[in-house]
């Protein structure tokens, strides 16, 4: 059987999204773990933008945006009904991209930018998280008692933000958000998709993904 090929980097939040979506769908892909400083020629030929994730389908078609990969997988099989909130969930995810991620980058990677105050950027990023906390005070997940696409698409970036300053994050007044993030990080699903794999090189035997833990509910 010929499987789609997924180029991934374990710690990249965008690649986490792709792995989470694929694992939740129950589909199988051939995983190629890369390192960003030495990107394989095969990946760059498929997607010259040079960022992960990149999914190469058996017919040669390429899907190289994380949300598109999640949708590709879940449209085929969505046993958890992750897509059930449609445009409403998509809007919250889009706001994560527009209102939260730019400030996260300028906080975490402030040395890459000119005239940036990382503490100001952290405070601006926190406004979006405060809204998530208010939402999560009423329910277990962002849209109710069960996990949705929005939780899987947003949580990797909240995790990245928290890890940039764990001591500060831990004393903020967002207990519902902290509970939600801890639940996400501690889940069998997330632990499964974060399993470590050797760096792929041309000629290596294929590594099929997901494993059993990544497919956990």
Percent of the chain whose pLDDT exceeds 70: 96
The pLDDT tens digits for 148-161 are 999 999 999 999 99
- pTM for the whole structure: 0.94
- Is 217 a residue whose pLDDT tops 60? no
Mean pLDDT of 116-132: 97
pLDDT tens-digit readout, 14-61:
999 999 999 999 999 999 999 999 999 999 999 999 999 999 999 999
First to last CA, the chain: 26
Q: What is the pLDDT of residue 1?
A: 57
Beta pairing class for 62-63 and 54-56 = antiparallel
The confidence score (pLDDT) of residue 63 equals 98
Q: Could you tell me what percent of the chain has a pLDDT over 90?
A: 95
Instruction: State both tokens at 210.
Output: 């997901």
12: left (phi over 0), alpha (psi -120 to 50) or beta: beta
Give the model confidence (pLDDT) of 160-203 as tens digits.
999 999 999 999 999 999 999 999 999 999 999 999 999 999 99
In the prediction, which pLDDT does 216 show?
Answer: 45
Would strands 5-8 and 54-56 be described as parallel, antiparallel, or unpaired? antiparallel
Q: Give the Cα separation of 8 and 21 in Å (integer).
A: 13
3-state DSSP of 157-177: HHHHHHHHCHHHHHCCCCHHH
Q: For residue range 125-142, what is the model confidence (pLDDT) as tens digits?
A: 999 999 999 999 999 999
Under 8 Å between Cβ of 116 and 105: no
Residue 70 has pLDDT above 70, yes or no: yes
Q: How confident is the model at residue 213 (pLDDT cuts 50, 70, 90)?
A: very low
- Could you tell me which residues come within 8 angstroms of residue 22 by beta carbon, excluding any fewer than 6 positions away? 6, 29, 69, 70, 73, 209, 210
Are 189 and 212 a contacting pair, CB within 8 Å? Answer: no
DSSP per-residue letters across 112-173: GSSS--HHHHHHHHHHHHHHHHHHHTSSSBTTBSS--HHHHHHHHHHHHHHHHTHHHHHTSS
Domains and CATH numbers, the chain: 5-79+191-215 (3.40.30.10), 86-186 (1.20.1050.10)
The reported pLDDT for the residue numbered 26 is 95
Judged against a pLDDT cut of 90, whether residue 124 lies above it is answered with yes
Look at residue 208 in the predicted model and tell me its pLDDT.
96
Read off the tokens for 89. Answer: 């969930």
Given a cut of 80, is residue 83 above it in pLDDT? yes
């Amino acid at each position: 059987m010929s499987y789609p090929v997924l180029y991934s980097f374990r710690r990249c939040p965008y690649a986490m999204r792709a792995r989470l979506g694929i694992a939740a769908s129950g589909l199988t892909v051939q995983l190629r773990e890369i390192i960003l400083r030495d990107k394989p020629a095969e990946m760059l030929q498929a997607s010259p933008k040079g960022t992960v994730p990149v999914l190469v389908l058996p017919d040669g078609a390429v899907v190289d945006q994380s949300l598109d990969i999640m949708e590709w997988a879940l449209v085929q099989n969505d046993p958890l009904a992750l897509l059930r909130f449609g445009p409403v969930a998509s809007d919250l995810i889009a706001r994560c991209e527009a209102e939260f991620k730019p400030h996260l980058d300028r906080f975490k990677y402030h040395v890459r930018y000119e005239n940036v105050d990382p503490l100001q950027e952290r405070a601006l990023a926190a406004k979006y998280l405060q809204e998530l906390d208010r939402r999560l005070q009423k329910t277990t997940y962002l849209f109710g008692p069960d996990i949705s696409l929005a939780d899987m698409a947003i949580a990797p970036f909240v995790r990245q933000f928290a890890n940039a300053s764990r001591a500060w994050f831990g004393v903020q007044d967002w207990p519902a958000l902290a509970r939600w993030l801890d639940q996400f990080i501690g889940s069998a699903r997330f632990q499964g998709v974060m399993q470590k794999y050797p760096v792929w090189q041309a000629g290596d035997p294929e590594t099929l993904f997901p494993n059993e833990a990544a497919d956990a509910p």
